[in-house]
Amino acid sequence: MKSRVLYSVVILGLVLGLTACQCGGKPAVQPTTEPEKPAGCAPNCTYADMTLCYPQLGAESDWRTANTASFKETAEELGFKLVFSDAQQKQENQISAIRACIQQKVDVIALPPLVEDGFEQVLTEAKNAGIPVIIVDRSVSADPDLYASHIGSDMVLEGERAAEEFNKLMPDGGAVLELSGTTGSGAAVGRAKGFRNKLNDNIEILDSQTGNFTRAEAKPVMEAFLKKYEAGTDFQGIFIHNDDMGIGAIESLKAAGVKPGDLVIVSVDGTRGGFQAMVDGWFQADVECNPLLGPQVAEMALKLMNGQSVDREVLTNETVYYPDNAAELLPTRKY
Ligand code: AHR
């Protein structure tokens, strides 16, 4: 089975050579009203017929690593060809990779968009080429007619869940800092919105800065926060948009003499690192965001190849994890 699966790693230079210039200004390609055509093998296409393009946005976090592994493992198990690339957190790389997939005439593109805006033109190009697109994980702001479906988490709900934890843990109010994800990403925008939707009026968001979803970038942001504000006096809590940034922030907190439990910290993802931070007493709650989306996306991609209808939006069922059983659950975590 393994030998039937080919991974095509798209090298940026090659991609740029293959793809057309996005010359700025208005989209050169106008949306078509023609209906999508099912693949030649429809209605009996199997996974062996399928080439799925996955232009991954980067490798910024343990969540992302697990998401990539989910797609690679699913391709191996089901026997479809995966055209995988890593855009290294650069939208222009992701757009180039999508264009390379269009040129390769893949059957379906599954796109985890780095940010919400700026995909209109390339999605139009995919539509005009008759290649269905599934938006995966984060959302896009483009016209929904340009893609078949979105499969991923409800990022607004995740932010709301985090706010509810602060409301419980800080009943008398206070001030919190926010370490937010990649600016303009559906995950950061949704979590920030949800957090503000539900946070009690007696809790002030003292400051909010991005750590771009990475440990490396979160650490100096937390350091700067700690120079500006006194932990425990100026603020009592931190809402952190993902576990990797939480782990980076903990390094800065430790260096500043802050101890586990001195602050209320709520993070998002539910990675092993997040569970360890709960076991160690740093996080008081971890809002789940599930990266294991490969099987669902593959199933939908095959349906699209066979001309079957699919749901416009498929949201992942998620929960909130707590320190009381974190040690017990940690060994069972898949990511
Ligand atoms: O879009 C999902 C988010 O992206 C995850 O919370 C984060 O860890 C990742 O980088």
pLDDT in tens, 6-62: 444 333 333 333 333 333 333 444 443 344 667 899 999 999 999 999 999 999 999
321 CB under 6 A from ligand 1? no
CA–CA distance, 283 with 268 (Å, rounded to integer): 10
Using the mean position of ligand 1's atoms as its centre, give its distance from the Cα of residue 216 in Å: 15
Q: What is the pLDDT of residue 37?
A: 65
138 CB under 6 A from ligand 1? yes
Q: Nearest CA to 213 among 171, 255, 273?
A: 273
Pocket probe for ligand 1: among 56, 60, 62, 64, the residue whose CB has the most ligand atoms within 8 Å is 64
CA–CA distance, 243 with 271 (Å, rounded to integer): 7
Atom of ligand 1 nearest to the CA of 244: 8
| Helical residues (DSSP H) of 87-185, grouped into ranges | 91-103, 120-128, 155-169
pLDDT averaged over every residue in the chain? 91
CA–CA distance, 71 with 137 (Å, rounded to integer): 12
pLDDT at 175 over 80: yes
User: Could you tell me which residue, 13 or 228, shows the higher pLDDT?
Assistant: 228
Using the mean position of ligand 1's atoms as its centre, give its distance from the Cα of residue 59 in Å: 10
pLDDT tens sequence across 92-119: 999 999 999 999 999 999 999 999 999 9
Q: What is the pLDDT of residue 36?
A: 60
Q: What is the pLDDT of residue 38?
A: 75
Atom of ligand 1 nearest to the CA of 63: 8
Provide the whole-model pTM.
0.90
CA dihedral (82, 243, 318, 298) in degrees, to 10, reads 0
Q: Residue 229: phi, psi to the nearest 5?
A: -125, 145
